[in-house]
Amino acid sequence: MHATPFKVVIPARFASTRLPGKPLLDLAGKPMVVRVAERAVLSGADEVLVATDHAQVLAAVERHGLRAMLTRADHVSGTDRLAEVVDAAGWSDDTMVVNVQGDEPLIDPALIARTAAQLAQSGADIATVAHPVADAADFFSPHVVKVVLAASGDALYFSRAPIPYARDHFAREAGGETLPAHMLAYRHVGLYAYRARFLRTYAGLAPSPLETLEVLEQLRALWHGFRISVAISDQLPAAGVDTPADAQRVQAWFKKFDRLPV
């Protein structure tokens, strides 16, 4: 058994504004959600389950010998979908569950395992991942979510704004073209590990005003006083698939390399 026993759930919503039917996007002969699940299996998880709202996705996953569960279509977020899975599967409160996005077919299996280990070692309610920001354009981009950490390694806040703001450095450099040396800026990577107990609680938490303003659901947990421990990764994970351009890039990758390295 893996040193840190954990399960992986992959939320796979069929509808997508920019890429309808995204989980079924063909990547060298396999649907994208299947490619994601195959990477999750390599992480050492003792169970990998795709949670979807569509029968076509369910059938595609099962056709490739992987497990899937049909969940409700009205979930607001992937975390809410996970909460349904935890109850339907009857997992104990102490079960550790890693939420792997269904649009990340290039995800590193070791990073999945590390996120589970971070949850186990920290004793926090949630664990997630961040990567140092070195580029000023990324730091100021609202599309790059930043996280500020406490000395403990727990998240203090997540924001689309440039935080922490180096006042004196940016005052001297009005264009904000560079970051100061030793800048404690981190890009949040949307990979989460939870205990089933928290997922059952999360389903009943009221949304927070901050979550609504930033459009970042993890702020709901901070608002209600839950701990989020952050693992720092030296390597920036491969980008997911959000747009048609992303889809073309990943399809070209799979066409060239045929399969992912183990």
Q: Report the C-alpha gap between 213 and 180 in whole angstroms.
A: 28
* pLDDT at residue 2, rounded to an integer: 46
Q: Which of 13, 119, 3, 5 is nearest to 76 (CA)?
A: 13
* Size (the chain), residues: 262
* pLDDT at residue 1, rounded to an integer: 40
Q: Which of 135, 157, 136, 154 is nearest to 146 (CA)?
A: 157
The boundaries of the domain holding residue 124 are 7-131+187-254
Total of domains in the chain: 1
Strand (E) positions, the chain? 7-12, 26-27, 30-31, 47-52, 67-70, 96-99, 126-132, 146-149, 155-159, 186-195, 228-232
What's the token pair of residue 4? 């840190």
Residue 235 near residue 81 (C-beta atoms within 8 A): no
Residue 164: is the preceding peptide bond cis (ω within 30°)? yes
Residue with tokens 């599309």: 143
* pLDDT at residue 258, rounded to an integer: 60
* pLDDT at residue 262, rounded to an integer: 43
Q: Which residues contact 123 (CB under 8 A, 6 or more apart)?
A: none
Whether residue 113 lies inside any domain: the answer is: yes
* CA distances (Å), origin 65, targets 49, 59, 201: 11, 10, 32
Whether residue 192 lies inside any domain: the answer is: yes
Whether residue 148 lies inside any domain: the answer is: no
Number of Cβ within a 10 Å radius of residue 104:
25
Whether residue 153 lies inside any domain: the answer is: no
Whether residue 156 lies inside any domain: the answer is: no
Whether residue 212 lies inside any domain: the answer is: yes
Whether residue 1 lies inside any domain: the answer is: no
Q: Give the domain CATH number at 27.
A: 3.90.550.10
Residue with tokens 């996970």: 82
Whether residue 225 lies inside any domain: the answer is: yes
Q: Which of 53, 133, 104, 78 is nearest to 242 (CA)?
A: 104
Residues of the chain predicted below pLDDT 50: 1-2, 260-262
